[in-house]
Amino acid sequence: MQTRTLGSTGPAVSALGLGAMGMSDVYGAADRAESVATVHASLEAGVTLIDTGDFYAMGHNELLLAEALRGRDRDSYRLSVKFGMLRGPGHDFGGADARPEAVKNFLAYSLTRLGTDHIDIYRPARLDPTVPIEETVGAIKEMVDAGYVRHIGLSEVDAATIRRGHAVHPITDLQIEYSLISRAVEADILPTLRELGIGLTAYGVLSRGLISGHWSADRTAGPGDFRAFSPRFSNGNVEHNLALVEALRRVAEAKGCTVAQMAIAWVAAQGEDIVPLVGARTRERLAEALPAMDLTLTADDLAEIEKAVPQGAARGDRYPSAFMSGLGVGN
């Protein structure tokens, strides 16, 4: 597994990261034993970056990772943890809380659930509109100084917020959606990150499975599955979006890889400062994702991919409307 360094101040991590969210939340039921086995298979393949959030099924995901990572050398992997999303007992989302006192409270719970004395990269999942980013980053900086956190990241914020946060303490990486069908980061965010020496960890590189080559219009998302109410998966849009996937499939077949591998490799090819996260929750999906990092896309390949999936070609917002205003960029 190749490595990439997160920004000018961050750690070297595997060029592909594992996102653990789907092992607990957002895409419906997952199999616990298979989730643990998938984490183990990732580590054995050389994956050293694992991403979670304290709100992924209200601590469930952190406890799952604690179980999967028990007994491993703590220096052999890096944990990226998001915090700040408020949820209710019915799993509904209730906004963000990134006040300094909340930062410390969330961190204390995460450390306990994860069974560790430090988090490698700690980040607010969303901007709390009532709290200046300087205060949130300032509180995490205190936790860096106290030894509980190694690096500070951000998630889904705009370019101006990145600059303000970075002025308080160096930001290691921004986590944000980036895929063949979600390219809004290319306008302002990526140039800002590159100017400041901040890395990008890309999520949704398979657009939550939509551009993985495994989704079909007749596949229905069950209860608790984000895809049941995601505009890109809704009737009318999904057929259009899957036609783009079929065009991508033809390019992938000519290259001798799968659609998912091509979509992951495309994100990785956008810069050495970008680390794609994949949300594999089974060993089978992981085994498909890993070889993507050995795929070299030539300028001709990239042009063919662009022809198959032109920028802005997807239909539907990347989140339901109630969540769009909390994002750093549009689609």
Ligand X SMILES: NC(=O)c1ccc[n+]([C@@H]2O[C@H](COP(=O)([O-])OP(=O)(O)OC[C@H]3O[C@@H](n4cnc5c(N)ncnc54)[C@H](OP(=O)(O)O)[C@@H]3O)[C@@H](O)[C@H]2O)c1
**CA dihedral (158, 7, 209, 19) positive or negative:** negative
Could you tell me how far CA 89 lies from the centroid of its own chain? 24
Q: Which of 51, 62, 173, 301 binds ligand X (CB under 6 A)?
A: 51
Q: Looking at beta carbons only, is 20 or 198 nearer to ligand X?
A: 20
String marking each residue 69-108 x if it binds ligand X according to CB under 6 A = -------------x--------------------------
Q: Which of 204, 231, 316, 326 binds ligand X (CB under 6 A)?
A: 204
Asked if residues 166 and 196 have their Cβ atoms less than 8 Å apart, the reply is yes
Q: Indicate which single residue of 205, 245, 293, 297 sits in contact with ligand X (rule: CB under 6 A).
A: 205
**Is 62 among the residues that bind ligand X (CB under 6 A)?**
no
Please say if 203 is a catalytic residue.
no
What are the structure tokens assigned to 140, written together? 């995490």
Closest separation in Å from C-beta 288 to ligand X: 4
What is d(CA 203, CA 293) in angstroms, rounded to the nearest whole number?
A: 16
User: CB 52 → ligand X: shortest distance, Å?
Assistant: 6
- By the 10 Å C-beta count (0-12 exposed, 13-18 middle, 19+ buried), 75 is classed as exposed
Using rule CB under 6 A, residue 199 touches ligand X: no
Note the helical H segments in the chain: 32-44, 60-69, 100-114, 133-145, 159-168, 189-196, 237-255, 259-268, 283-289, 299-308, 321-324
Q: Is 119 in the site for ligand X (CB under 6 A)?
A: no
Q: How far apart are CA 14 and CA 46, in angstroms?
A: 7
Question: Which of 40, 118, 141, 214 is in the footprint of ligand X by CB under 6 A?
Answer: 214
Binding to ligand X, residues 263-322 (CB under 6 A): 277-281, 285, 288-289
Beta-carbon contacts of residue 58 (< 8 Å; ≥ 6 apart):
87, 91
Which range binds ligand X by CB under 6 A, 105-113, 198-206, 246-254, 299-307? Answer: 198-206
- Taking the complex as a whole, the smallest distance from the CB of residue 276 to ligand X amounts, in Å, to 8
Interaction residues for ligand X, span 22-41 (CB under 6 A): 22, 27
**Shortest reach from residue 285's CB to ligand X, in Å:** 4
Q: Does residue 173 interact with ligand X by CB under 6 A?
A: no
Contact assessment for residue 174 and residue 157, using Cβ atoms and an 8 Å cutoff: yes
Q: Radius of gyration (Cα) for the chain, nearest Å?
A: 19
Min. distance of Cβ 321 from ligand X in angstroms? 16
What is the token pair recorded at 207?
């657009």
Burial grade of 199 (CB within 10 A; 0-12, 13-18, 19 or more): buried
Q: Which one is catalytic: 56, 77, 148, 178?
A: 56
Interface residues toward ligand X, by CB under 6 A: 19-22, 27, 51, 82, 125, 155-156, 175, 203-209, 212, 214, 260, 277-281, 285, 288-289
